[in-house]
Copies of this chain bind each other. A is one copy, B any other.
């Protein structure tokens, strides 16, 4: 078996350090791309949300845009109450993992790039999984002055049931 000389070991260390530095550089470049698109915003009231959910309002309804545009961040375990939208809502998942469930139907797993086109007057909830945060852009259409009707909380039992079969870890 070949014996390592101190010289060879020294070369080995230099190669290791160079490789490390390359990793550091790549990591630095990547981190600058992995920040969230929007700030977390303001905490949403537990009157309508379970756990810690936050809204960054991007644009309010105006004369051209007949919708409110916002970014919603759900910490792990956080979710909306059951609710409906009189003229529907579009969700674009930008980070994390979570669920969308229409009353009486199986939940749909949401990941980055998922898009949900929520129909009008359809009882549903959305939120993070128990282990991961979820961030989505929401485009919420208005019917007159109304864009949401809030209902009862999603029970812990219903939420845990959905998470049992679906979360990634």
- Residues in A lying within 8 Å of B, measured CB to CB: 4, 6, 9-10, 12-13, 16-17, 19-20, 23-24, 26-27, 30-31, 33-35, 37-38, 58-59, 62, 64-67, 69, 87-88, 90, 92-95, 112-113, 115, 117, 119-120, 137, 139, 141
User: CA separation between A3 and B15, bound complex, in Å?
Assistant: 21
User: CA separation between A69 and B115, bound complex, in Å?
Assistant: 11
Residue of B nearest to A9 (CB): B9
Q: How far is the CB of A1 from chain B (nearest CB, A)?
A: 15
User: CA separation between A158 and B23, bound complex, in Å?
Assistant: 39
Does A141 lie within 8 Å of B64, measured CB to CB? yes
Does B69 lie within 8 Å of A66, measured CB to CB? no
Does B13 lie within 8 Å of A59, measured CB to CB? no
Does B94 lie within 8 Å of A69, measured CB to CB? no
Q: Beyond A27-B27, A64-B88, A69-B90: 12 further Cβ-contacts under 8 Å?
A: A6-B9, A9-B9, A13-B13, A13-B16, A23-B24, A27-B30, A33-B34, A37-B92, A37-B93, A38-B113, A59-B90, A66-B66
Q: With a CB–CB cut-off of 8 A, which chain B residues contact A87?
A: 64
User: CA separation between A60 and B35, bound complex, in Å?
Assistant: 29
Residue of B nearest to A89 (CB): B64
Q: With a CB–CB cut-off of 8 A, which chain B residues contact A115?
A: 58-59
User: CA separation between A9 and B10, bound complex, in Å?
Assistant: 7
Given A34-B34, A87-B64, CB of A23 within 8 Å of CB of B16: no
User: CA separation between A24 and B22, bound complex, in Å?
Assistant: 10
Which A-B residue pairs are the 4 nearest by beta carbons?
A64-B88, A16-B16, A23-B23, A9-B9
